[in-house]
Amino acid sequence: MAIMFDHPPHPSHAVKDDPKVAEPRDPHDIPTFDSTSLTLPKQPVLYLPPLLSSLPAKIPAQPVSSIYPPLVTETRLPDIDPASLSLHKALHHFRPLNRDYAALPYADAFNWSELALPSEDEREWYCVVFRSKRKAGSDGGSLYEADRKAHEEAVSNGGLILYWYGIPNQETGLNLATCIWQSRKHAIAANSRPHHIRAMRLAAESYEIYDLERYVLRKLVGQPGVTVEAFAGGEVGW
């Protein structure tokens, strides 16, 4: 089982509000959320930024969108291969296709078809999906902090490219979080880290629904786009 989270790993994240809410707000006035409002938002959320692992210090900073900039971790990856760097750049534009993405098949939930990589790249990456529903009245404070520490632990130990944290659907309570790893070996190695172990123990007590899914994200040479396929066993990436 790979490291996975149901909360964002930082206490503040930017979102764009639904324009249909009763009290419209300036979309450029980005709100700040804490761990409580992230799990119990007062307004529907249409846009969530991807959380990308910061690149190794030896790699120059990459340009980002001024409209929907991604979030980045404080901790840097120790290394990243060229094809994964291309994916990292493409994932700056990663987003869900609609508000109901948590209930959709993984391949239909996000804008995979819009992610373009260099034609000469050929690589596969390991994806873990966590579908969940919190228990009513469960205490999210300690789990939120454990998730934050586990995420930074995973980045510093290498392999974690992106963590999409999600926000529970206001009507159903369902949530979808996902991690994209450079390899399955990296994901498996994260399981034995102390902060991950603590986060998983707390998670077992906090969720009514707790389902893991695994996929392969594949890029073939000569094709600019990526495909998402169910994981069928074996090693993925390197």
Domain CATH for 174: 3.30.70.100
Q: For 158-217, how does the pLDDT look when each residue is reduced to its tens digit (9 = 90+)?
A: 999 999 988 888 889 899 999 999 999 999 998 777 766 776 676 667 778 889 999 999
Answer yes or no: is 235 within a domain. Answer: no
d(CA 48, CA 50): 7
Answer yes or no: is 100 within a domain. Answer: yes
Q: What is the pLDDT of residue 31?
A: 45
| Residue 21 scores a pLDDT above 80 | no
Q: What is the mean pLDDT of the chain?
A: 80
Answer yes or no: is 148 within a domain. Answer: yes
- Domain residues for the domain of 194 are 34-56+69-230
Q: How many domains does the chain have?
A: 1
Percent of the chain past pLDDT 70, that is, above it, reads: 73
Q: For 2-18, how does the pLDDT look when each residue is reduced to its tens digit (9 = 90+)?
A: 344 333 333 333 333 33
- Identify whether the C-beta of residue 100 lies closer than 8 Å to the C-beta of residue 44: no
Answer yes or no: is 24 within a domain. Answer: no
Of the candidates 211, 79, 235, 78, the one whose C-alpha atom is nearest the C-alpha of residue 133 is 211
